[in-house]
Amino acid sequence: MSEEKKSKFEETPINDLSHNENKEEIEGEEEVEFEQISSGPEPSVKYSWEWLQWYYEANKQTINYVGGGLLLIIGLIVGYKFYWLPSKEAEAADEIFYAQSLFERDSFNLALKGGAMVRYSQGTKPMMGFEKIYEEYSYTKTGTLAAFYAGVCYLHLGKYEDAIKYLEKYDLDDEMYQPLAYGNIGDAYMELNKPEEGIKFYLKAANDKINNFTTPLFLKKAALALESQKRYKEALELYERIKKEFVTSNEARDIEKYIVRVTTFLEESGK
């Protein structure tokens, strides 16, 4: 390089050099134009096939997010209802089998608390009692049934407040167990010397699911409780209902003697 050129290069500011280099680079590059993506104007006819296509293109991202979320939720519900829950229901049914067997043999404490070594398909292990089954499987029908049995066990063991606590957890609303749950709560309140509560639950049991077994059974229990409170007129109405509406029931067989007894009390009291 000649001294003159060298002198000019040294005198050139650094910024000017950088600028010149950038300019040369930019001049060498091709200019790129970006095409704007548009869904086009909204079709005049709403809800037509063309309008639906336009709407999807205009809201594609939102629709995909919402649709994906809905599919995920539906998948979770289907998985829970048709796969996970049935498997847990089967587990609970295996567990309750031995507890029910002990209950039928009046081994109420063992049925309630569990602990006995029994044989399962996967081997021998301690059985679950009704309390533990309810704790582990309360979201299943079998788990809820275990609460009913636990309440009845406590009733037989003389622990009436615990009986009420578990019987109130039963809420499957079926034809037989639900009235029995209410009726057993009534028994527990009578044992706790709370006749008003007892009568209320006896009547609830009698009227919850009208049938030839639980209805006359708990009507009679309610009438006897009313008698104990000297509410003879109300008791008579219940006895007469049994006689009239449930002729073939066990309670109707000797209901006449109760009617005569209460009628006598009413005559003596002059009411």
Contacts from 91-97 at CB under 8 Å and sequence distance 24+?
A: 91/137, 92/133, 92/136, 92/137, 92/140, 92/142, 92/143, 92/146, 93/142, 94/120, 94/121, 95/127, 95/128, 95/133, 95/136, 95/137, 95/142, 96/128, 96/130, 96/133, 96/142, 96/145, 96/146, 96/149
For residue 62, the model assigns a pLDDT of 80
d(CA 52, CA 50): 5
Model confidence at 87, pLDDT cuts 50, 70, 90, reads confident
- pLDDT at 200 exceeding the cut of 70: yes
| Segment 174-183 mean pLDDT | 96
pTM score over 0.85: no
Which of 33-42, 195-204, 222-231 is the least confident region? Answer: 33-42
| Segment 43-51 mean pLDDT | 70
For residue 124, the model assigns a pLDDT of 87
**Which has more confidence, 243 or 69?**
243
Answer whether 110's CB lies under 8 Å from 129's CB: yes
The CATH class of 173-271 is mainly alpha
**Cβ neighbours of residue 147 under 8 Å, at least 6 residues apart?**
130, 134, 138, 166, 167, 169, 170
Question: So where are the chain's domains?
Answer: 173-271
pLDDT over 90 percentage in the chain: 59
